[in-house]
Structure 1
Amino acid sequence: VDTSGSMQGKKIEQVKGALKFFLGSLHEGDAFNLVPFSTEARPLFSEPKPVSPETTKQALEMVKNLEAAGGTNIEDAILRGLKMPDDGRMHILLFLTDGLPTVGETDPAAILRRLKEAHKKTTRVFVFGVGTDVNTFLLDRIAEMGRGDRHYVGENEDIEVKVSSLLQRLSRPALSDLKLSIEGARISKLTPSPLPDLFYGATLTVLGLFEGKGPHELVVKGTLLGKEKTWRYKVNLPASPARELSWLAPLWAQRRVAHLLDQIRLFGKSKELVDEVVKLGKKYGIVTPWTSFLVAEEAKRLADGTNLPGLQGYRRRGPVTGNSLLGPSTPAAPTEGKPGAATPGLGKRANGSGPVSGKKAVEDSRKLAKLKANAFSVDDLDDAVGGGLAGVPVRRAGGKVFYLLGDTWVDGDFKKEMKARVRRIKAFSPAYFELLRNHPEAAAWLAAKGKILVVIGETPYLVE
């Protein structure tokens, strides 16, 4: 936990609240340690100690006396935190800082080399960056190395709430070192990659490609309480994609592109990575730094109100008015462009040379993390509409624009204040057909596969 001078005021008080929550969430059999750091690291114990009334009391006393002062020695802090026993159990390190390395080793590359040498296979590292004066490349690569997640807390967000939420999720690990295979078939390009650990109450969705057909066995392996476990499931691989699952390929492509862009951002460009990004961007209509869309001619025709095919690939640059986006939703063919030529937003910086700190760097990191996890919700609709979420699939039908946020196609006319008024309707139920009878124009809007959140009149409907 960073206790440097920049953490003064409400930051350090919120951190204290999060640490108290952490101590209260520990279970019998857990072991823990606290490592406050500023100019140097000051661990509570030389190594993690089992939870007991005495160790908890010592920890609470340390939390009570925490003060914000000094510089930021990131290397010393994480190296101390990585001192875990080799007992075969999963160990979790949560690292929180609001600044750049200013004391000790300050070269990010050197810090990463030292951490890679010290990191144990059974340790997961989750990072929390507070504010925008952080080195996102350093923190993101630490999380990547530690097979954990990265999280960022905005200047006006509550550290205690954000950290406590993550701690609650991490408090009950279920399976680690997950592996997925299909006997007799080949699977590749899985997302997420590598597969993350699974915690109780969490859902893990894995997307990827397979080669093969017919009956096979899906094999899931993982480590449970230090022992490898195996689960087998019978699956039947189709010879051709099922029409009702046509939405899966764009969803996989979105996640794959996000993964590739993140690798480019953190480790630099390579021909192989860029070529794959371009290929997927063209095929699935995803805006990337290396693809741009043929919008000039379309924009001219739209001004004339002409019905056009190919509008699914068109990225909206401004508000849609009237019925200017009528027509089938066939993907348009993008063309290769120079890095940075795509829609303003995330993709512009995802070329291995973007900012490492500041507001833009934090926004880029957060957006890519969301794209990789497909963790968007209706709360992200404004960014999607404004072009700030490059990579979010877009569908146009019957004069409306829909954005694939999470597993739901969300109407661009939907507003956050409508959330309390959403009417849920089961697809192909009597209520569904009644809606179509009353609003025949909705047939085009409801033609997509998966969940659809559409606004008809002033009423939002969620069809699932």
Structure 2
Amino acid sequence: MTQTLERQAGGLYVQTPSQEQIAFPLKHTEVQAKIAGNISRVEVTQSFENPFTTTLEAVYIFPLPDEAAVDDMLIRIGDRTIQGSIKKRQEAQQIYEQAKQQGRTAGLLEQERDNIFTQSLANIKPGEQIDVIIRYTESLKFDGGNYEFVFPMVVGPRYIPGTTIEEDTTGYGSADAPMMQNQDTDLVPDASRLNAPILPMGTRSRHDINVTVEIDAGVEIQDIQSPSHQIQITYKGQVVLVKLGGGDTIPNKDLILRYQVANNSTQATVLTQADERGGHFALYLIPALQYRPEQVVPKDVVFLIDTSGSQMGAPLMQCQELMRRFINGLNLDDTFSIIDFSNTTRQLSPVPLANTPQNRTRAINYVNKLNASGGTEMLRGIRAVLNFPVTDPGRLRSIVLLTDGYIGNENQILSEVKQHLQAGNRLYSFGAGSSVNRFLLNRIAELGRGIARIIRHDEPTDEVVDKFFRQINNPVLANINLQWEGDGESPIIYPSTPPDLFAEQPLVLFGRKLGDRNGKLHITGIAAGGTRYQHTFDLNFENTGNPAIAQLWGRSRIKDLMNQMVSGETKSGVEAVTNTALAYQLLSQYTAFVAVSDDVRVDSTQGSVSVQVPVEMPEGINHQGIFGGAVYAAPAAGARVRQRRLAQPPQALMSPPSPAQAMPPSKETESLIIQRQSLYIDDAYPPALNVGSGLSEIDQYDLELLKPSVIESDEIDAELARMSPVQRLQVVSVTGLDQQLIYLLTQYLQSIQLPTGFNGNLVFEFQVNKGRVKQVVLDEQASTCQEQTVIEIIRRSLLTWRPLQKLTSIVILTIQIQS
């Protein structure tokens, strides 16, 4: 029977004589989780199958928990198991590509964000099934005795802001798709690795998922429930087995499992482990703080609500319900206001409003009229709320963000919060939906010294709101200090600066000390009314301890180091993350797992189809909100002959401009336009290559199109007044490029206009690969200029530079800036 491959929305299709059906390389996902006390150990098995008559490469973008310590990957072919090994990411990519070219079966597991991963599996034979097994450890979240286990199942569509680096050939960049695009930009240079193709509305894949969770808390477990899924519960003494219900196996929403334990054992718990790397410990503490209602401090609450297209329907309705309850739950002495954002920002009032019946009615009417549409320009909203006027400095400013977090420029948002949130202010995040961006919401709350709460779009809101007000109204445990008593150096503890604690919120610390000498850790702080709080933990390190503790410390260190680089990657930071990940065998943004078969399994001279696995739209998300008026809600799934690009005329490769780009630039913006050349390879259109079904492709040809780039004025408004042509940028030295490219790079950089008043040297290290600049890292120790705005402008400009040569090189660039 002849099969025909056809490139269409959402995947590769198999054409049979009787019907056309979509083909899915990912067949099934099996999840096995074992929970012991506060720690879960999870094994994820992804089963890929090749339904075609030619060799297949499958690429799958999927989520894992944002604080998961991923420490193992292997592939299983029949009765053979191939163990993966951790490598530096670039080295792992090279090993994978070489194995693919040789005809060996290979698997590559990479991390794009803390909660977004890419699994690539090369050289799957026709009709063959290959399993990829991933293992990770995670510390469960809990408040008091209430535990929560979460397994995410789908990556929601990410909105990508910024100036496009290269042309879009995926179909995401449609003007009818305000939310969804897959083009790399200067703000999100890895955007093409974040968004998987989404199935058209009404289309269902055959990919299903099964989850089994075994809970052994050491005590009786009670009140097990899931607000997200139908579950089956089996009791075996103190061990509980939880499985998904038979009719709830579509991977389109986070699995949320909640339960309680029968005593207060979680009030104070310490777990230890020791090996050749030192003594590791995990510490869990929930202070039993007493408070009186008269100690509640008057607050100034500013609500920031996401009204972009992804919020259309159930998510926005849930946020509106939350807002109504928030407004009615404020204390009488509180003040408040509301800001909402999508492509633009709007506000209820220019200053905080008193909490009167009239103002509450006015606010609720404002909330009821909100509509969802447009892109998620969250930076505009964050800047608006951080700069919102303060009329009473005596009030505690509390910012409450409501969003699904569907953006790709998370670090830009986190950097803004880290740099500009005023001391004493708090930022709380609420995610409403079935598959929200927990990474962003959790990190915003951490950097904002607040708390994060995730609520499904169909969950009751009253309990969540009541608990929120109990926490922010009650006194916190502040000025937390840690002191080590014992032999040897003090342990390295994360988070490095313990956060203030709200009522009922646990303190979770991970530490490591050199050697395994025992000691005591004293925790002190100031509770309500100035009362001194103190608690002491005895730390006894045992070689027979739980090895997961070491992995969790390594993961916590990586998280802390990455938080320090939200404003941009630094050489020392990247090296520290890489070294930690390699020492603890952990996946990170700079390391990857790779597994390769010993034998050559396919003929590398024959054609090979590569397909990106299409995914479900997250439950409750409206297709129209993501894709606008598009008939089909998904781009093509990336079917291609290995190392070849679709043959299209230049006009087809240039996506329509975004609404922001289509508007006439202001005079200020015009002064920031970087003049570039537009050129392309003369012989870019040889005879098309037909592959079975008529897939027209170009063999080894790439269109070079350097489009004019505008540095968006809203990114550097504060610096426009200081722009001056007298600012001079000189290229001091370049290694890794030939003289022609050094000349072109120098000309390019000298066309950039920078804010004046800054002097010094900047040293950058970056990769040039296939005509693209990637991973621009600042050598902060060799640089003397510390102005973040200047660094960011140059970094983004380097990312949009397009070398004409297809070289692969590591470039070290030294720049001198003089006013």
For normalisation by structure 2, the TM-score amounts to 0.29
More strand by share: 2
Structure number, greater radius of gyration: 2
- The structure showing larger relative contact order (alpha-carbon pairs under 8 Å, at least 6 residues apart) is 2
For normalisation by structure 1, the TM-score amounts to 0.48
More helix by share: 1
